[in-house]
Chains A and B, each alone.
Chain A
Amino acid sequence: MVEKIDARGLSCPQPVLLTLNKLKAMGSGEVEVLVDNETSKENVTRAASAQGWSVTQIREDDDTFVVALVKK
């Protein structure tokens, strides 16, 4: 089961805050974070990497970036 976080439309620092809260609660697993701008994409990627999660994929659908994160 891939967990999802929808951070579209949210401004700094909400996307990172939501992502980190989720990652902390999960410990490990797979998460997809939905954001709608480059800045949030970069910030989420940077923050998740610092927590030891790896970015497996970044998809772009219309105005949405889907950042796929995984930690074994």
Chain B
Amino acid sequence: MINNGGKRFLRKAMSVTRGNIFASGKGIIVVGAVIGVLAALLQKMGNPGNMGVCVACFERDIAGALGLHRAEVVQYLRPEILGFVLGAFLAALSFGEFKPRGGSAPFARFLLGMCAMIGALVFLGCPWRVLLRLAGGDGNALFGLLGLVAGIFAGTLFFRAGYNLGKSSKGNYGLGFLMPIVMLGLLALRIIFPQIPGEPKSGVLFYSVKGPGAQHAALIVSLVIGLVIGVIAQRSRFCTMGAFRDLLLFGQMHLFSGVAALLVAAWVTNLLAGQFHPGFQGQPIAHTQEFWNFAGMFVAGLAFALAGGCPGRQLFLSGEGDGDASLFVFGMITGAGIAHNFGLASSPAGIGPHGVAAVIVTLSLCCFIGFSNIQRSKV
């Protein structure tokens, strides 16, 4: 029996989402919780600590696998990322939401992707990993969370002032297939050149022999979980940046409830799996420099806000055929290459030799893109 309140709730949910149960208030909570549990389980099954699914870390590892940087400890072609795009692609195709599009300030989005990655690597994680680090008891992530929220808040100030990267337009149907094809190509490389135990290279791909890049779940496990997350995140529009942006800009809790569910679910799973270790020192793949944890994530939060989506959301949008989101993704991968080649990325010992310069330069670039795209006249 459903009471009247329940009926009203259901009617309201249906009227908003027209049958897309994933995008309802309860749907987004379930999706967040499922992602949280799966991420924590991936850690149990081999992925690095508090890094079950960190989009920035995994794109950085992919950059390493392709030799775009040669940091030996972070080279692995992470199947989760491929799954995210391909899952979103399949979901979008199945539900009539596959819409090839692009042309909204593509180069600005590429550069925002680079800035986001460079900032994220000063902190050592993207918004997804902020949550997973908190769920694992890493207190340093509190400063990352503060930086993330502050950066997104700065982004909302740009939006209030009239910031807008302009309209995208419909693209030829085939253009939408490019990103999924690239992901299938990477998957083919991963299958043709599997890891050889103890060897740093297999065919054209680089592999880590030690360090976080050497820690990973089995290919099929990573790929299937990636696909599942890709499907449910596309349906629910899950976005870790949008969660805070909508709360700050509109006072809306919808996406935030999904992110909160991820945090709680990952935390509970960690507790049950013996993966919860509260503290600041000696946390997996983390450093204790509070200010730079804050500042790195501030840059990343601002860049994600200006580009309209967290790194996960950009992958899901690219699977729907959004060429601008695809460029953002490749901006992030390029940014990862530069971050490690130039010594901008942090390590557990602390920020990199040029981490300070990295924050200043990327913050300046984000601000330039923000100020230079403020349109006074209404669209």
Contacts and interface: CB of A to CB of B under 8 A. Distances in A.
B97 A45 contact: no
A17 interface: yes
A18 to B, nearest CB: 6
Given A6-B379, A42-B23, A20 B250 contact: yes
Interface in B219-246: 237, 239, 242, 245-246
Given A37-B97, A38-B20, A50-B252, A9 B15 contact: no
A45 B15 contact: yes
B17 interface: yes
Contact of B168 (A9, A46, A63): A9
Contacts of A38: 20, 95, 97
A9 B99 contact: no
Given A42-B16, A45-B16, A49-B12, A13 B159 contact: yes
Contacts of B379: 6-7, 10, 14, 18
A17 B163 CA distance: 11
Given A11-B308, A46-B252, A18 B159 contact: no
Contact of A37 (B99, B169, B308): B99
Interface residues of B, number: 33
A13 B307 CA distance: 10
A36 B167 CA distance: 11
A26 interface: no
A58 interface: yes
A29 B334 CA distance: 49
A71 interface: no
A37 B92 CA distance: 11
A70 interface: no
Contacts of B165: 11
Interface string A32-72: 00001111011101110110000100100001000000000
B287 interface: no
A17 B167 contact: no
A65 to B, nearest CB: 10
Interface in B278-319: 308-309
B277 interface: no
A14 B245 CA distance: 12
A31 interface: no
A11 B246 CA distance: 14
Contact of A12 (B95, B101, B308): B308
B16 A11 contact: no
Interface in B337-379: 378-379
A10 B159 CA distance: 13
A34 to B, nearest CB: 11
Contacts of A36: 99, 170
A19 B343 CA distance: 44
A42 B250 contact: no
Residue among B15, B104, B242, B379 facing the most chain A CB atoms (10 A cut-off): B379
Contact of B254 (A41, A46, A55): A46
B212 to A, nearest CB: 32
Given A49-B15, A50-B252, A9 B104 contact: yes
Contacts of B246: 13
Interface of B: 12, 15-18, 20, 23, 95, 97, 99, 101, 104, 159, 164-165, 167-170, 237, 239, 242, 245-246, 249-250, 252, 254, 308-309, 324, 378-379
Which 5 pairs from chain A and chain B are nearest by CB?
A9-B167, A11-B308, A12-B308, A46-B16, A9-B168
Interface of A: 6-14, 16-18, 20-21, 36-39, 41-43, 45-47, 49-50, 55, 58, 63
24 contacts: A9-B167, A10-B164, A10-B167, A11-B165, A11-B308, A12-B242, A12-B308, A13-B159, A13-B308, A16-B250, A17-B249, A18-B379, A20-B250, A37-B97, A41-B18, A42-B16, A42-B18, A43-B237, A45-B16, A49-B15, A49-B16, A58-B18, A63-B99, A63-B170
